[in-house]
Structure 1
Amino acid sequence: MGLRERKKLRTRQAISDAAIALFLESGFDRVSVAEVAAAAEVSKPTLFKYFPAKEDLVIDRLADHREEAAEVVRAAAGQPPLAALHAHFLAGLERRDPITGLCDEPEVLALNCLIYDTPALVAGMSRFTDHSIDALADALREATGRDDLAPRLAAGQIVTVQRLLALENHRHITAGEAAAARFPAAAAEADQAFGLLRSGLDGL
C-alpha cells in the first residue's frame, strides 16, 4: 500500500471513529453530517467522498463481512457449501465474532444496539444483506455449476438464517445474558437452523 492509500485509509478511519463516537453519545438521528465532518476535521464534501450516505458511516464497520459467506464457499475445497457455512458460523460463535451477535464486549454491544434500534440503520442493513445474497449466489453458481434461480434462492435463505441467528443472540445478550453462558444454546440453535436448511437445500 502506497503513501496516498495509507493516508486515505487513515482519513476514512478517522471519519468513521468520529461518527461512531458521536452517534453513541447523542444518537444517530441527533447528529448531523456537518458535526461528524467537524469532529473528524474534514469538509463535508470530503466526508461524502468516503461515505456517500450518513448510514454508511456505521454500516461500513461491517464491510468486511459483506462477502464473507461467498468467500467461505469459494474456500471450501470440495466441502459442500452448506456444511462449510455451518462450520464457519459455529467457529464465529466460538471466537465471539460480533457478526454472530454473540459478543458482550461493551463497545460491540453498544454499536449493535445503535444499529438495531435505529430505523435508518436497519434499512441500511437491508442493502448490506442484499449485497451478501448477491455475492453468495454467485459463489454457489460457481460451486454447483447451476445457472438457474436455485443458487439465489439458497443464498437468500442462508443469509437470512444467519441474520436471524445473530438477532436472537443479540436479544439474549442485551437482556443481560453473558456470551459464555449463551454459547451452548447459540450453537444448538445454529445446528437446528442449518439442519433445517440442509433438509431443503441438499438437492442443490
Structure 2
Amino acid sequence: MSEGLRERKKRETRQRISDIAMWLFVTNGFDNVTVAEVARAADVSVNTVFNYFSTKEDLLFDRQGEVEDLPSRVVRERRPRESALQALRRDFLDALDSRHHRYGFHEGSDAFTRMVAESPSLNARIREMNAAREQALARTLADETNADPDDLTPAFAAAQICAVLHRLMTHAVQRMLAGEDLNAIAPDLRRQAERGFELLESGIGDYCAGPRSAPE
C-alpha cells in the first residue's frame, strides 16, 4: 500500500524536527539545548515535538530501533550457508569500506561521540541501547538455531560479537577525536576487525597461554 499524503507529511515533519534537533545538539551541546528551542527552530509547538518524540533523548536517537536491531537483521538476512559470524563480519567490513553510518564509521561520528560523552543522560541511553542490541541478537541466534530456553550459547555468542563490534568502533572514534582522518584510520581498523573476527571464529582457547616453562 502506498503512503498517503497525511502519513507522508507526518513522516517529513518528524524527520525535519529530528534533523534540526541533531544540528542544535551537535552545535551547542545536548544539555545546553531545550526542547522549546528545538520547537522554535523547527517552527512547531513544544506539544508537536512531544507528539512525535516522547523524550528529549528520543530526538537524538530517532533511529534507536534500527540501531538495536542491526546485528539481528544481518543474521536474519544472511546468505545461504553463511554463518551468523560470517554475515556480521561481511556487513561490518562493507560498512567500513563504504563509510556507511550503520556502525558509526562516517564523517561527523566524532562530533556525535563528543556530544554524547558530555551528557550523563545520553551516556545512560547508549548503555541501554548496547544492552538491548546484545539481548536482541541473543534472541535472534536462539530463534535461528532453535536453541533450548536454558541454553546459554546464544547469549555467549551475542555477548562476544557485540563486544568486538563495540570495541572496534570505540577505537575508531577515539582516534577520530584525537584528530586522525577517516582514510588514515580505515586500513588499520580493517586489520583490527579481521583479527577480532578471527578470534571469534577460531576461539580464544590458546590466547595468552602461559610460558613453555616456569620462570627460574
Tell me if both proteins adopt one fold, taking TM over 0.5 as the criterion.
yes
**C-alpha distance in structure 2 between counterparts of 1:17 and 1:101, whole Å:** 17
Q: Which runs of 5 or more residues in structure 1 are unaligned?
A: none
Shift of 1:63: 4.4
Superposed CA offset, 1:84-129 (max 9, x none):
11111111111112343432x2x44323332243322121112222
Question: 1:31 aligned to 21, 30, 33, which one?
Answer: 33
Please report the TM-score for the alignment, with normalisation by the length of structure 1.
0.87
* Aligned-partner SS, 1:132: helix
1:143 aligns with 2:148: no
Q: CA RMSD in A?
A: 2.0
Q: Is this contact kept in 2: 1:74–1:139, CA < 8 A?
A: yes
Shift of 1:53: 1.5
Structure 1 residue ranges (4+ consecutive) displaced by more than 6 angstroms after TM superposition: none
The structure with the larger Rg is 2
Q: Is this contact kept in 2: 1:93–1:102, CA < 8 A?
A: yes
1:189 aligns with 2:189: no
| More divergent stretch after superposition (39-48 vs 87-96) | 39-48
| More divergent stretch after superposition (20-29 vs 37-46) | 37-46
Q: Is this contact kept in 2: 1:90–1:187, CA < 8 A?
A: yes
Question: Superposed, which structure 2 residues align to 1:44-193 within 5 Å?
Answer: 44-61=46-63, 63-76=65-78, 77-103=80-106, 105=107, 107-147=108-148, 148-193=151-196
Shift of 1:187: 0.7
Identity %: 41
- The residue aligned with 2:208 is none
AA in 1 matched with 2:93 = L
AA in 2 matched with 1:43 = S
Q: Which runs of 5 or more residues in structure 2 are unaligned?
A: 205-216
Please report the TM-score for the alignment, with normalisation by the length of structure 2.
0.83
**C-alpha distance in structure 2 between counterparts of 1:124 and 1:180, whole Å:** 29
Greater RCO (Cα-Cα under 8 Å, separation 6 or more): 1
**C-alpha distance in structure 2 between counterparts of 1:10 and 1:126, whole Å:** 29
AA in 2 matched with 1:10 = E
Q: Is this contact kept in 2: 1:59–1:121, CA < 8 A?
A: no
- The residue aligned with 2:207 is none
- The residue aligned with 2:43 is 41
Q: Which has the higher helix share?
A: 1
How many pairs align? 199
